[in-house]
Amino acid sequence: MSIKINNLTHIYNEGTAMAKTAIDDINLEISDGEFIGLIGHTGSGKSTLIQHLNALIKPSRGEILLNGVDINAEKSKLKSIRQRVGLVFQYPEHQLFEMTVYKDVCYGPTNLGLSEVEIDQRAKKALETVGIGEEIYEKSPFELSGGQKRRVAIAGILAMQPDVLILDEPTAGLDPKGRDEILNAIDEMHKRLGIIVILVSHSMEDVARLVDRIIVMHHGKIVVTGTSKEVFGQAKMLESIGLAAPQVSYVMMGLKEKGFNVPQDVYTIDEATEVLYSMLKQVK
């Protein structure tokens, strides 16, 4: 599965006085199995962009190719596109509605018109992937904890077995434990299933730790794209568009200013721990 975006532009309320360009002539290519981090401050067009990828929003101009096929070409294939590109919205637990956890996860596969056996298999597999045990299957989704609810909601998308999984700030509003659980589940999924994962996040730490490639958006345009070292190396530029490098890189910068010879391309806490620990050892 590969995604190619050509000259994508989206204008809300086009032709009226309230017209607003949310996406401005974007070109992008995502190849199979990539783990992408999409960052940008509020209103930069991230959400609009990801909703284009499963045809929830139609482009004003330009095209989106999924394996070389324009997804907006034929209306009849909408369901198949939404099956292949799974989109987990912000606060996905707000979309839960069924009486039991199990039934809610079955909603997606049922809409795809699969056989009952297949639906059952997919639902159970999806719930297992996000770490929801069988003892919770028959509970009402509304009596679960915040983190559990969110995992059930993500399972609802996973049960459709998409080739591309897009998550819009999946950790917003969760406590640190819930956040780690979700992120670890996503990371594991990416490794095990080999699907494309696009993670929209405001946490530079999470992005630096998890993704292969970062895409930075600002005012509807892609400002820069590259590995975390390439992107976070430009801390000044990121700050100028309302973002920042991961906090640990500022620690490293501070240390360098104080005269310690520490590497500057350290963006995760694990890396930093390692570097500083080995330096301390040498000092001794």
Partner 1 sequence: MIRDITIGQYYMVDSPIHSLDPRLKLIATFVYVICLFIINDVYTYAFSMLALAGIIAVSKVPLKFIMRGIKSIIVIIIFTAIINVLTTKGTHVLYELGWFTVTLEGVYMATKMVVRLIMLIVSSSLLTLTTTPIQLTDGIEYLLKPFQKIGVPSHEIAMMMTIALRFIPTLLDETDKIMKAQQARGADFETGGLMEKAKSLVPILVPLFISAFRRADELAMAMEARCYHGGDNRTRMNVMALQKNDYYAMAVICGFVVCLIIIMLVM
Residues of this chain that interact with partner 1 (CB under 8 A) are 13, 51, 54, 56, 79, 82-83, 86-89, 92, 94-97, 107-108, 111-112, 142, 156-157, 160
Q: Report the nearest approach of partner 1 to the CB of residue 107 (Å).
A: 6
Q: Report the nearest approach of partner 1 to the CB of residue 251 (Å).
A: 38
Q: Pick the closer one to partner 1 by CB: 162 or 246.
A: 162
The residue type found at 31 is: S
Q: What is the DSSP letter of 71?
A: T
The residue assigned the tokens 């997804």 is 71
Q: Report the nearest approach of partner 1 to the CB of residue 1 (Å).
A: 17
Q: Pick the closer one to partner 1 by CB: 112 or 193.
A: 112
Q: Report the nearest approach of partner 1 to the CB of residue 97 (Å).
A: 4
Tabulate helix, strand, coil % of the chain (nearest 5): 45, 20, 35
Q: Report the nearest approach of partner 1 to the CB of residue 28 (Å).
A: 20
**Exposed, middle or buried, 205 (CB in 10 Å: 0-12/13-18/19+)?**
middle
Rounded Cα gap, residues 195 and 136, in angstroms: 27
Q: Pick the closer one to partner 1 by CB: 99 or 230.
A: 99
Q: Pick the closer one to partner 1 by CB: 83 or 249.
A: 83
Q: Pick the closer one to partner 1 by CB: 149 or 209.
A: 149
Residue 267: CB partners within 8 Å, gap ≥ 6?
204, 208, 228, 229, 232, 245, 246, 248, 249
